[in-house]
Structure 1
Amino acid sequence: MQRIHNAIQLTGLSRDNLADLYAYPTDPQVPWVRANFVASIDGSATSGDLSEGLGTPADKTVFTILRELADVIVVGAGTARAENYGGARTDPQLRRALYDRGIGGHRDGASPPIAVVTSSAALDPGARLFTETAVPPLIITTSTAPADRKQQLADAGARVVEAGGVAITPQGLLSALADLGLQRVLCEGGPHLFGELLAADAVDELCLTTAPVLVGGTARRISLSAHEFRMPMVRRHILLDDDGTMLTRWTRR
């Protein structure tokens, strides 16, 4: 691997190289929470109101390997609606190989489910989340969410999990995932969910892509929370692509 100023040039890295760089801990006993975001140089989390607007080929490459490694992909309901989420499309052979190496993947090669966090269960049962997936989505909701909504989502093929009374705390979310044996967690947004996880000290690492663009406008940052906090992080690696995309991995100190 060619290194440039303590960074790794993405060009030439194999899929196995990337899997090694982003490997989850072996046999985690509690959920290991990884967040993956993209931002512009000036800190915008979206362009045209979508994170997809900031995507680059390098970001897509890492986005894909992170999904291949994960047990579950967690998103907030707003992100699922705005980004028109469907089920994850992964490579069964690669998922089995990653599982055999003990760094992620799945024993049978199955794709990771999309887990949507929604206290109200206010989702469209006709959305791609339910109609374009090989694995039933998880709806992480509350006991006080309307029963008819929860039944509609279950009828659409989802697995509905109650993880709180009126609200879903980060601890409640992770406990529900752990009860399902989903320990390698990949959070793809949005900023409110990520901010809540950060404020609860529940995030183990952040994978951040910096897209080589300036956006301006009033777009949000990647995290939003009610109160400011400071969480020291350690840089694990930097990947550089020829188009200027920079991909970093940070873990808690």
Structure 2
Amino acid sequence: MRTLVGDGSYAWPEGPWLRANMVTTVDGSAQGADGRSGTINNAVDKEIFHRLRDTADAILVGAGTARAEGYGPAATPIVVVSRSGALPETMADAPEGSVRLAHGGDTDDLRRTIAGLHAEGFHHIVCEGGPRLLGDLLRAGLVDELCSTVVPCLIAGEGRRMVVGDQLDVGLELAALIEADGTLLARWLVRK
């Protein structure tokens, strides 16, 4: 496998930027048979996942995804967006400052959350999902870039897509496309 981490393809632009990172199978499922995206990712996807995490100022994730994927504290601060106001159990005892909770009831809540993070100096934010949070962020006009990984497998079934929720129409512009070991990695800029 060729190394993707050091080639500059995923360098952050200057200033505030929200980058979403999602993985799907060739047939469009964003989750494996167990309901987790972690079961469909591969070594190439994991390399990019960790690269984006390690270079971000903050990680944004929906509470449902954090629960399903077994999120715990990370080296990069994690912001859990929750409609219920509850942190996943795996994150309840996290060291102070490593995990914070944000209300995700509507687009205004999301706008306040992102504006607050930017005001605190968290300019480079990576959203790791889930599909509902990504849809809400897109509807709010907050996503600047979508990094998508298509892994070379088919799983059929009723798996969720990378974006769910109410219908939306968001234009994208391809910024980069890389193939590595049969895995397709794309960076899409959101047209605003």
- TM-score (structure 1 length as normaliser): 0.69
Instruction: Provide the rounded CA distance (Å) in 1 between the counterparts of 2:94 and 2:80.
Output: 15
Bigger Cα Rg: 1
Aligned partner of 1:229 in structure 2 is 168
Question: Matched residue of 2:46: which SS?
Answer: helix
2:102 to 132, 140, 160: 140
Aligned in 2, Cα 1:58/1:133: closer, same or farther, shift over 3 Å? Answer: farther
Q: 2:63 aligns with which of 64, 69, 77?
A: 77
Q: CA deviation at 1:134?
A: 8.4
Shift of 1:131: 4.1
How many residue pairs align between the two structures? 189
User: Is the strand fraction higher in 1 or 2?
Assistant: 2
Structure 1's consecutive aligned runs of 4 or more residues displaced over 3 angstroms after TM superposition are: 130-135
Question: Hey, what's the Cα distance between the residues in 1 that align with 2:49 and 2:96?
Answer: 19
Map 1:124-203 → 2, pairs under 5 A: 124=88, 127-131=89-93, 136-141=98-103, 167=106, 169-203=109-143
Aligned equivalents of 2:95 and 2:2: distance in 1? 31
Deviation at 1:23? Answer: 1.1
Which residue does the alignment assign to 1:36?
21
Q: Which sections of structure 1, spanning at least 5 residues, go unmatched?
A: 1-9, 89-110, 143-165
- 1:74 maps to a residue whose letter is L
Assess, with a 3 A threshold, how the Cα gap between structure 1 residues 87 and 173 changes in structure 2: closer, same or farther.
same
CA spacing shift, 1:78–1:86, aligned 2, 3 Å:
same
Shift of 1:68: 1.3
Shift of 1:139: 0.9
Unaligned runs of 5+ in 2: none
Asked whether the equivalents of residues 86 and 133 of structure 1 are also in contact (C-alpha less than 8 Å), the reply is no
Correspondence 1:248 to 2:169: no
Identity percentage of aligned residues:
38
- The RMSD of aligned alpha carbons is 2.0
> 2:10 is matched with which residue?
22
Aligned partner letter, 2:144: D
Select the structure with the greater relative contact order (CA < 8 A; seq sep ≥ 6). 2
